[in-house]
Structure formats: C-alpha cells, structure tokens
Structure 1
Amino acid sequence: MLKHIVFWKLKDHAEGADRGTNALKLKALLDGCSSIVPGIVEFEVAVAQSGLEATYDIVLYSAFDSRAALDAYQNHPEHVKIKPFFAAVREARQCMDYEV
C-alpha cells in the first residue's frame, strides 16, 4: 500500500477569491476525485479549522493499493484538469509518498 499526503498553503487572495473560499473550492475539487480510479483505499480532504494550530490550509490524506493506482490517479483527466487552479491559488505545497 502507498500513502500519498499533500499539504497546500494558499495565497491570501487569488483567482478573485479569498483564502477561505479557495480552500473550500479546492476541497470540493479534490472530493470529486475520491473514486476516479480503482485502487483508492482511503481519500480524505480537510480544511484547517480556525482556532486550531495549522501551518497549511488544506490537506489530502490518501492511500492506494499500488504505485500503479497512484500513477493512474495522478494522470487521470479529472485530476489533471484541476491542477491549474491549484497552481494559481497555492503559495506552497508539500507532498510525501511512502509505502506501508
């Protein structure tokens, strides 16, 4: 199994919206990718909650049954088409993949 965890820190304003609005839009876009390929075992998207310590604004925690499944997810047209919006609104991105 392969875990795929990604964090995004968003710009204060981008694409005509504020950070909070863009975080919710990113969550909705990612949630739409939660079952686009076979082999997705876990897929959870969360937006940082006010009042709790957070250095990033949104996180994706996911697990795939194989490297092939993660590759299929990364290259799926539904995932590829949301990448430009993510690039436009993010200030920083951190990612880690690891096998368990």
Structure 2
Amino acid sequence: MWDVRGATRAEKDASIARLRHSFESLRGRIPGLLRLEIGVDTSRADYACDVVLFSEFASQAALDAYGTHPEHLRVKQELGDLRIARHQVDYTVED
C-alpha cells in the first residue's frame, strides 16, 4: 500500500496513473507472478492509503525472485520518489 506524492487531487491522480502503468507492465514478464491487481482508494478517508498492489505468486521462491528481477527493479527505478509512505504484508496461503 502506498501514499503517493501530489499536493492536489489531480497531482495524486497523475501519480497513481503512473504507478498503475508501471506495475501493469510487469504482467507476463515475471516468472511465477500469477495475479497483479492495482486498487485505488475510493473512501478518501484521511487514514486510508492512496493505492494498493495485490499480487499473487506461485510460490515463496517466485516471490523471493521477484524482489531482484530486472523488470521489478526497472519499475522501482521508474517510480523513484513517487511514494511518500509504503506498507507491505507478505503472507503464505495454506492449502
């Protein structure tokens, strides 16, 4: 989950669009990435994050490899200082 830069709603929306485009470019490029979804907050609550990335991987090993995959590193570089806060939860789903 991220809060993104932007002094106005239009600036935040532009940041979110940039983030969405960058992450969506990963589809089909990361081995073991089964699902990637970008959710944009609609509540506008003052405590809510601006955007969330939900991704599903085939295994813990696939998630681990994602962290250093060149395409993921490219996205991190593209987005640079776009975020002002970030929260992360990685978890395993038991069968």
State the TM-score, normalized to the length of structure 2: 0.80
Deviation at 1:53, TM superposition (A): 4.2
> 1:83 corresponds to which residue?
76
1:95 aligns with 2:88: yes
Report the more deviating stretch, 80-89 or 55-64.
80-89
Q: Secondary structure at the match of 1:18?
A: helix
Amino acid in structure 2 at the alignment position of 1:30: F
1:10 and 1:19 in contact (8 A); partners too: yes
> 2:30 corresponds to which residue?
37
1:43 and 1:61 in contact (8 A); partners too: yes
**CA RMSD, Structure 1 to Structure 2 (Å):** 1.9
Aligned pairs, number: 89
- Deviation string 1:23-57 (CA, Å, 9 cap, x unpaired) is 101001000112222212221112223xx245111
> 2:5 corresponds to which residue?
11
Identify which of structures 1 and 2 has the higher relative contact order when contacts are C-alpha pairs closer than 8 Å and 6+ apart.
Answer: 1
Deviation at 1:78, TM superposition (A): 1.3
Give structure 1 stretches of 5+ with no counterpart: 1-6
Q: Which has the higher strand share?
A: 1
> 1:3 corresponds to which residue?
none
Amino acid in structure 2 at the alignment position of 1:25: R
State the TM-score, normalized to the length of structure 1: 0.76
Identity %, equivalent residues: 35
Give structure 2 stretches of 5+ with no counterpart: none
